[in-house]
Structure formats: structure tokens, C-alpha cells
Amino acid sequence: MNNIVEKTQQGESIAWWHWHKHLYNWVIHWADTRFGILALIVLAITEPICVPIPADVLVIGLCLSKPKRSLRYGLTCSLFSVLGGTIAFSLGLAIGGERVIQLFDMASFGPIHLGAKAQKALELYQRYDFWAIAISALTPVPYMLFSWLGGMAKVSLLKFVAISLVFRTMRFGGEALLFYFLGERARRLIEKYFNIATVIVIILLVLLALIMKKVGHVFSG
């Protein structure tokens, strides 16, 4: 576990968010304490609301330290991440669309314009609600944005929760399974192939949706 912290501290820095790097290190250090599972629950809930650190870092840290508990960590993170997403969804609905966009504008840092990203996310939501939720829940696309904007896009809460639960479990549960069976080797696989793997999963899901639609037409005809 200490190797991960050292690697993080010595890795490439990002000029405009040194605070982010310190926050990252502070989050991952909890994996070395007896409060690791509690810290994971807190991070999983708060990440979709306001925390810019992906919960994966703590899932990976905990799984590395105790691989045989990996499935517990992955499932815990999945469930509480969806709970956090549901809270953000409800807050966005209560606050209202324009104010949410303004909040993301105010939260922008340097070259990162979250207000513009939020507007783009809303447009995607309104056109492809299922895929918007699925892709944000599974990939590095910010789940936080799509959680806050769900109510604005008039997506049903039940639909948001159901899709989020499936794809967040695929993400964190998939990481947990790798550590359960592969241990330390899993970290290298995730670092090297995570983005490629998620793209492949999305392509397979699109193909499956097209096949199901085709089959539906055949039976309805």
C-alpha cells in the first residue's frame, strides 16, 4: 500500500490543482488504517455530490491490502456510490436547472469549465438518457455531473438508480474481482487497460441493445 502512496506522491503533478494531489494522498492513506471501510463509505457517498477524487483509489488501496475482502469493498462502494448519486439527483431537482449550471460554473478551476461540461452533459442526457447514465457510471466520465443533472433531464429516479446500480457494480465490482483473483497484478492491469476495457464494454452493450431491438421487431412482426 505504501508503494501506491509513494508513486502518487512522485507522479506527474498538475499545476493548477496541487490541493487535489494532497486530497488524493489524504484519501488513499485511509486504506492503511482501521477506518478504511468507513472512509470508503464516506468517499463513495460524497464523490457523486461534491468530491473530485474517484472512489476507485480507495477501493484499489483496500483491495491491495486485503485481497480476500475485495468483493466486500467493491460491493460496498457500489451501493453507497449509488446512494450518493441519488442524493445529488434529488438536490439537483430541488435546486433547479439554471442554478445547478451556475453552481458548476462557480466550481470551475483554471481551464476546467464545469458549467460548459454540465450543459453538454444535460444535452446528452436529454437525447440518450440510458447511455448517459450507464457510461458515466462505468467510465471516467464524471458520474457527479450526470447525478446532479438527472432530475433536470426529467429522468425518473427509479431508472437512474437501477441503471446506476448495474453499472457502478460493474465498475467497482469488476475491480474487486480482479484483486480477489490476481492481487497485486490487478493494479497494473487496471492502470494499463481500464479505459480500453470500458470502451469495449460500451461497444458490446450497444451491440446487445441493437440485437435486442432487432429481435423485438422480429417477434412483434
Grid coordinates given for 119:
450543459
Grid coordinates given for 18:
496541487
CB 61 within 8 A of CB 28: yes
What are the domain boundaries of the chain?
Answer: 2-94+157-220
Nearest to 44 by CA among 84, 74, 7, 71: 84
Per-residue tens of pLDDT for the chain, all 221 residues = 444 444 444 444 444 344 455 666 667 777 778 889 999 999 999 999 987 788 888 898 888 888 889 999 999 999 999 999 999 999 888 887 667 777 766 665 444 556 667 777 777 787 888 888 888 888 766 788 889 888 777 788 999 999 999 999 999 998 899 888 887 777 777 767 766 766 666 676 666 556 655 554 443 44
Show Cβ contacts of residue 200 under 8 Å, excluding neighbours closer than 6 positions. Answer: none
CB 161 within 8 A of CB 143: no
Return d(Cα 92, Cα 145) in angstroms, integer. Answer: 10
User: 0.85 cut: is pTM over it?
Assistant: no
Burial (Cβ within 10 Å: 0-12, 13-18, ≥19) of residue 60 = buried
Query: In a 3-state reduction of DSSP, which class is residue 186?
Result: helix
